[in-house]
Amino acid sequence: MSEPTVASRVDDFVAAISQLQLHASGAQPFEIDGLESVVSVAPESLAQVQKCLTEAHSSALRVAAVGSGAHLQLGNIPEALDVALSTGRLHRIVAHEPADMTVTVEAGVRLADLQHALAEHGQFLPLDPPGADRATVGGILAANVSGPLRHRYGTARDWLLGTRVVHADGSTSKSGGRVVKNVSGYDMHKVYVGSLGTLAVITEVTFKLAPLPKVDCTLAIASPSAAAAQSIISAGHERGLAVIGAELLSPTAASAVCDRGAWTALLRIAGGGAAVARTLDELHDYAALAEGESAEVPGAWDRWRAVFGPADLSLRVSVAPSDAGSIAENLDRRFVGDAAQISATSTAGLVRINLAPADDARAPAIVDHVREIAVERGGVAIVDAAPLAVKQLIDVFGPPRSDIEIMRRLKQRLDPERLLSPGRFVGRI
Amino acid sequence: MADEPTPSYVAGEIPNGSVTAALIRDLEAAVGKRYVLSTPDELLLYEYDATIDRARPQIVVLPETAGQVAAAVRAARRFDMPVIPRGAGTGISGGALAATGGVVVALTRMRRIIEVDSENRIAIVEPGVVNLDLSKAVAKHGLYYAPDPSSQRACTIGGNVAENAGGPHTLAVGSTTNHVLGLELVLADGTVIWVGGRTRDLPGYDLAGAFVGSEGTLGIATKIAVRLMRMPESTRTLLAIFNRIDYASNAVSAIIAAGIVPSALEMMDRMIIHAVEQALHCGYPLDAEAVLLIEVDGLEESTAEQSEDIDRICRDSGAREVRLAVKQADRELLWAGRKSSLSALGRYFPNFYVLDGVVPRTRLVEVLRASNAVAEKYGLAVANVFHAGDGNLHPNLLFDERIPGTTVDVLQAGAEIMRLCVDAGGSITGEHGVGLEKRDFMAWLFDDADMAAMSSLKVAFAAGERFNPCKAFPTHRGCGEVSVANAQRVSARLGEDVYV
């Protein structure tokens, strides 16, 4: 007897979950790298997520968890996609304890909605990745995306206290907890961060929170060179000034983000009034020293997030912070003809480059070039977005490292049938 | 998920003398005769940490390089002997004890600071580097290593990694896990690999994050890449004295509610106040019920503004007195009482048992009261000195082991207090690990499915059951008899070199 077809297995799946009436919710199909989900489901409770995954598991269907769809361009091309499991209806804020500075939310809560609720209590979750206007908390974790606030606040893992997940077979587990300090058990939640849904589906998350700064303003310092702009960022960092976001923008990026046509240090200055005042004073001095022109640019971060969302070709280079400025300059020089826009969170050693090559055929060569530059400095380059034809030719993560076998065994253990976004992760896990 | 593997190994099967002798020969070949210890006298030092339990290994090996660690691990594996990594032995969860016997791999000879990259604020260190020595070594660059367990003069970075150690200053900057970028590991089969690296964005699962806090059960870290922080230009320390512990606790909540996250926020209770005052004459009023020690750091302008706010909040919350210190010598005076609190208690009680529980900040007062009531029920004295800012309680049960039955009462009371923390929505450990001591409490926090998912890391790292057996997770086959068969319960003694 031949294997049942995907279509018949999907029919079985749909029949099995029909009692949940998830179809009535009007869940949209999702597309990842040209693969369109055969069926979309939008469960609204942990039990429903479990039921969906249990049934998908018994029908051997391949599942991708999807939040808002803001990060679907990440990762290698999945081998198959049968079921898109949307977390969009898991949108409750489960518990916010302002005095504990912790919040527990379902994975489908949009970051923007969460920030709005937290702001009423003078708090926020210090994450601001591109796509933050619509991205869900679960999606941000699974994609491990970060934004300019990384300069001061680190990445999602630094704020994550615990998760609940549903595994490929429909079972559920949690790790961590809801208190700000906790070392009981292995920190499983660390491996789910950035796993692109290949290990489990995140359903609930607890974060610690930060107080919203009293004063918050943004300064753009247009400078004669990348090195000059970088020197201002470095000086502020060395002095411990009240800077919570610091991006080094290439002239094309600065033009789109804050109407400067030069290498620009875009700085978010925040804290108490006196600390902010002194920080502005000192930064103006550093700007003068570097022959830069400074101006306050309200609204620049919204534009930054729009500009540094996924482009035709988006790459992320990770190197030592001391190399970030020169790499940004090097990339700009080399890819000026490809409409490169560059933004470096230089203090974290992260350089983003968005390109619009005139010809897709150039893209693989660009990827190779960028990777070469990164590797020369002991770093790595990851392709965050590329045309399908390009993704078919490359591994977006580059060659795996010596710890790949541990990762494979982890995948094998948690999802032995390879049902969760197979092929999408590092080493095509 | 795939089925649980059955542990291949039954604890308590201590190998016979000839096996041990053959293994000793192999280990001597790997690291040199001098660095393999096996006589009872030599082993004595390695049979305890800072807990109540003690257990003797058959062999202690002191490697100097990752290659030697790998050779020792491979040798132990050939003889199917447990491997127990060990730092300075300052832990208080029994994490470094040879619960079922075996080979202790003591990493204290691996104490090189391999590289300091001051520009990028990174250091690469060996696991035996003493925590405070790293901060001292990088001070000339204006940098420091932020996690500061109270035992930082003695404890090692490797041990800190194993337990995901905290300290008073984790409130603002996080625990060890937030400061480790990557690790070179020796795995159970002797392979040496890196997880993580110098940057955060290496592709792949965050295995370094998963390794930190794994209590020596997944492998042995032989190099650790840590993040360093720039010393703040200004630090201000406040000491606020309260007549009622509720007032102090309300002040803690009010400071946080005001949007201030101090770099440290510590509380001491009446018992500590009395002991410290008798020993040091810090000027703590004896009728006070609680003292808060609060520190802020950063720009001069920030600390000035925040310390004024904190002063006002404390007074509004009922503080009878608030002292402020700016100069380092004055700040150290304010910290002196906190730092010597346990040794001061030694005047009154020969033994102590320190607990490490966490509760949501908002439940502090209630859990403190209930925990004091538990101690009272057992007729035990209790002194509280703890990280109030992050709800990390350290009730210290004080007793005299010479009174028959007391040690049993202490352990029972400790278990009840841990249960209180869990029932309040907290955890059984904030910074010292589960270890040997609290593994049976894990089931209060995690169900079988939770722990099955966690066990997938053991499979991923191919760690087997021979790496630090009977730690961190509830008893599996063979571990139940640990305390009867191999470990002898004795009581930790209060004195100069005890910390919390």
What is the DSSP annotation of A350-402?
A: EEEEEE--SSGGGHHHHHHHHHHHHHHTT-EEEEEE--HHHHTTS-TT-S--T
- Are A380 and B200 an interchain contact pair (Cβ–Cβ within 8 Å)? no
Mean pLDDT of chain A: 95
> Which residue on chain B is closest to A213 by alpha carbon?
B259
The alpha-carbon gap from B304 to the nearest alpha carbon of chain A, in Å, equals 9
∠ at Cα A141 (A140, A147), nearest 5°?
50
* CB proximity B261 to A under 8 Å: yes
CATH 3.90.1720.10 holds for A93-211:
no
| B contacts of A145 (beta carbons < 8 Å) | none
What are φ and ψ of residue A400, in 5° steps? Answer: -65, 160
- Report B:33-72 residues touching A (Cβ under 8 A): none
CB distance A272 to A248 below 8 Å = no
| A contacts of B212 (beta carbons < 8 Å) | 187
Distance CA A416, CA A419 (A): 8
Q: Where are the alpha helices (DSSP H) in B281-363?
A: 300-316, 328-339, 341-345
**How far, in Å, are A258, B287, B420 from residue A131 at the CA level?**
18, 57, 42
- All residues at 6 or more sequence positions from A352 whose CB lies less than 8 Å from its CB, including other chains: A308, A314, A315, A316, A317, A342, A343, A344, A345, A384
**How far, in Å, are B210, B211, B297, B310 from residue A406 at the CA level?**
12, 12, 40, 48
State the pLDDT at residue B15: 56
Beta bridge partner(s), residue A243:
A269
Query: What are the structural domain ranges in chain A?
Result: 6-86, 93-211, 215-304, 308-391
Question: Which has the closest alpha carbon to A144: A133, A134, A130?
Answer: A130
> Which residue on chain B is closest to A160 by alpha carbon?
B178
- All residues at 6 or more sequence positions from A18 whose CB lies less than 8 Å from its CB, including other chains: none
* CB proximity B493 to A under 8 Å: no
pLDDT digits (tens, 9 = 90+) for A333-367: 999 899 999 999 999 999 999 999 988 899 999 99
- Are B453 and A242 an interchain contact pair (Cβ–Cβ within 8 Å)? no
CB distance A102 to A178 below 8 Å = yes
Report residue A297's pLDDT band, with 50, 70 and 90 as the boundaries: very high
**DSSP letters for B404-445:** TTHHHHHHHHHHHHHHHHHHTT-BS-SSS--TTTSGGGHHHH
User: Which of B195, B261, B446 is the closest to A403 by Cβ?
Assistant: B195
User: Which of B163, B202, B457 is the closest to A186 by Cβ?
Assistant: B457
| B contacts of A403 (beta carbons < 8 Å) | 193-195, 204, 207
State the pLDDT at residue B478: 60
* CB proximity B443 to A under 8 Å: no
- List the single best residue of A157, A184, A347 to mutate versus B (max B Cβ within 10 A): A184
Beta bridge partner(s), residue A176:
A162
- Report A:217-256 residues touching B (Cβ under 8 A): 237-242
* Residue bearing tokens 């692109």: A196
Q: What is the sign of the dihedral through the CA atoms of B318, B321, B325 and B331?
A: negative
ipTM for this prediction = 0.97
Pairing mode, strands B381-386 and B319-325: unpaired
Average pLDDT over residues A252-275: 97
- Are B430 and A182 an interchain contact pair (Cβ–Cβ within 8 Å)? yes
Distance CA A328, CA A101 (A): 37
* CB proximity A401 to B under 8 Å: yes
The alpha-carbon gap from A234 to the nearest alpha carbon of chain B, in Å, equals 10
∠ at Cα A116 (A154, A40), nearest 5°?
85
Query: What are the structural domain ranges in chain B?
Result: 1-231+444-488, 234-343, 349-423
pLDDT digits (tens, 9 = 90+) for A113-129: 999 999 999 999 999 99
Give the pair of three-digit tokens for residue B14: 């201590």
User: Which of B170, B233, B462 is the closest to A409 by Cβ?
Assistant: B462
Distance CA A201, CA B125 (A): 36
Average pLDDT over residues A272-299: 96
- List the single best residue of B3, B305, B455, B456 to mutate versus A (max A Cβ within 10 A): B456
- Are B177 and A187 an interchain contact pair (Cβ–Cβ within 8 Å)? yes
- Name the more confident of B470 and A276: A276
Give the pair of three-digit tokens for residue B278: 């008798």
State the pLDDT at residue B483: 44
Distance CA B241, CA A161 (A): 32
Beta bridge partner(s), residue B238:
B294, B324
Q: Which stretches of B134-252 are assigned E, i.e. beta strand?
A: 143-144, 180-186, 192-196, 220-227, 229-230, 234-242
> Which residue on chain A is closest to B167 by alpha carbon?
A181
Strand order across the beta sheet in which A215-223 lies: A293-296, A215-223, A263-271, A243-249, A341-345, A350-355, A313-318, A380-385
What is the CATH code for B1-231+444-488?
Answer: 3.30.465.10
| A contacts of B178 (beta carbons < 8 Å) | 154, 158
**Residue B138, Cβ density class (10 Å: 0-12 exposed, 13-18 middle, ≥19 buried):** buried
User: Which of A99, A177, A318 is the closest to B427 by Cβ?
Assistant: A177
**How far, in Å, are A107, A373, A379, B408 from residue A417 at the CA level?**
24, 38, 33, 49
- Name the more confident of A25 and A325: A325
CB distance B245 to B365 below 8 Å = yes
The alpha-carbon gap from A347 to the nearest alpha carbon of chain B, in Å, equals 8
State the pLDDT at residue B16: 62
DSSP structure class, residue B56: -
- Write b or e for each residue in B313-347: b if 16 or more Cβ atoms lie within 10 A of its Cβ, otherwise e: bbeebebeebbbbeeeeebebbbebbbbbbbbbbe
For chains A and B, count residue pairs whose Cβ atoms are closer than 8 Å. 263
User: Which of B210, B233, B433 is the closest to A240 by Cβ?
Assistant: B233
Distance CA A175, CA B186 (A): 25
State the pLDDT at residue B490: 46
Average pLDDT over residues A151-179: 97
State the pLDDT at residue A311: 96
Question: Which has the closest alpha carbon to A264: A314, A217, A238, A300?
Answer: A300
- Are A402 and B425 an interchain contact pair (Cβ–Cβ within 8 Å)? no
Chain length of chain A? 429
CB distance B318 to B310 below 8 Å = no
pLDDT digits (tens, 9 = 90+) for A132-142: 999 999 999 99
* Common-topology check for domains B1-231+444-488 and B234-343: no
What is the CATH code for A6-86?
Answer: 3.30.43.10
CATH 3.30.70.2740 holds for B349-423:
yes
CATH class for domain B234-343? alpha beta
* CB proximity A316 to B under 8 Å: yes
| B contacts of A318 (beta carbons < 8 Å) | 199-202
State the pLDDT at residue B77: 95
**Domain at A308-391: CATH architecture:** 2-Layer Sandwich (3.30)
**DSSP letters for B279-300:** HH-----TT--EEEEEEEEESH
State the pLDDT at residue B492: 57
Give the pair of three-digit tokens for residue A125: 């979750």
CATH class for domain A215-304? alpha beta
- Are B194 and A402 an interchain contact pair (Cβ–Cβ within 8 Å)? yes
State the pLDDT at residue B495: 56
The alpha-carbon gap from B351 to the nearest alpha carbon of chain A, in Å, equals 26
Segments of chain B scoring below 70 in pLDDT: 1-16, 475-500
DSSP structure class, residue B400: -
- Report A:372-391 residues touching B (Cβ under 8 A): 378-380, 382
Average pLDDT over residues A309-327: 97
- Are A407 and B452 an interchain contact pair (Cβ–Cβ within 8 Å)? no
Question: Which has the closest alpha carbon to A419: B1, B257, B322?
Answer: B1
